[in-house]
Structure 1
């Protein structure tokens, strides 16, 4: 019994790539991974082997994929959700963003690290946003959560060990 999935050729791979970039903001690496996965899932029905990197570069040349813009939007989204600079830089690394393309995005997340930590603490009701003072075991777990979210230890500890209702600022 033959697989009912359509086989791929150069034209259908091109259509898949265009469809993917019109639906999702993506980086070159993520687009290449997607296309490789689709080739693996389906049969290749062309005499020439698939030229995924050439296709990705062609689509990037058309302006459909821009790693720097993707990096900016990804960093902004993660920072708004309360993630720290280490988590942002890891996400950019996973997306295949080069250091040059990700530099501005990293600087943006670095300059907004206090607001991101405040958002994270507010969402999780940690430190000044807690209803009551936490015991040491709970504080340890909250500190670990802050660190997993990519925040620096000093920023995380200032939030975690703050009394409920206390006002903490970036300067103190």
Structure 2
């Protein structure tokens, strides 16, 4: 039994793009991936697909970019800020934004903008993110004092897996108490 899928037309792709953008912030590349997934799904079930579908997708994306609905720079800045607040390392932030389709130049500008917004340098931003992650996951000085020594290596490993450099991880995990982190 064949599953009947809607034919892929320019109007269908435009509606699908608008529907997606109403719900999720994304980059131009992210929207391209979403629309191409729909095309591949339609091809799998042998639904009619318009000729020149890639050109139609490019035109739709260009219209959304021109109208300001898709703004890769704003997306990168907002996402970088949110990831930093959650305790994401610079390395992991770069990786997540690259996977979302942000180009390297836009990514570098977003990280510079984040440093300007926080009035800090990249090293301090990284330390703040490590502290945020330690607080959120209750690592190091945020852990009960009787459990700190036995969980030190586990806490260091958690920060390492999150992409933080070993010197930053050691400073955060080995801090005497949360107040010592705020002063440093």
TM-score above 0.5: yes
- Which string of whole-angstrom CA distances, capped at 9 and with x for unpartnered residues, describes residues 124-144 of structure 1? 2222212125346x3222112
- The gaps in structure 2 that reach 5 residues or longer are 116-121
Displacement after TM superposition at 1:150 (Å):
2.5
- Equivalent positions of 1:27-106 (< 5 A) are 27-43=27-43, 45-50=48-53, 51=55, 52-106=57-111
2:118 corresponds to which residue? Answer: none
Change (3 A) 1:47 1:122: closer
1:156 corresponds to which residue? Answer: 169
In 2, the alpha carbon distance for the partners of 1:20 and 1:97 equals 18
Change (3 A) 1:24 1:82: same
> What secondary structure sits across from 2:163 in the alignment?
coil
1:134 corresponds to which residue? Answer: 148
Displacement after TM superposition at 1:29 (Å):
1.1
Contact 1:8 1:42 in 2 (8 A): yes
Contact 2:73 2:106 in 1 (8 A): yes
Higher helix share: 2
> What secondary structure sits across from 1:64 in the alignment?
coil
In 2, the alpha carbon distance for the partners of 1:32 and 1:165 equals 44
> What secondary structure sits across from 1:42 in the alignment?
helix
- Which string of whole-angstrom CA distances, capped at 9 and with x for unpartnered residues, describes residues 135-159 of structure 1? 46x3222112112222222111111
Q: Which TM-score applies when normalising by structure 1?
A: 0.86
Q: Which TM-score applies when normalising by structure 2?
A: 0.81
Change (3 A) 1:124 1:164: same
2:156 corresponds to which residue? Answer: 143
4+ residue runs of structure 1 moved beyond 4 angstroms? none
- Which string of whole-angstrom CA distances, capped at 9 and with x for unpartnered residues, describes residues 68-120 of structure 1? 00000110111111111111111111112112212232221635323221111
Is 1:6 matched with 2:20? no
Change (3 A) 1:158 1:20: same
Question: Alpha carbon RMSD of aligned pairs, Å?
Answer: 2.1
1:15 corresponds to which residue? Answer: 15
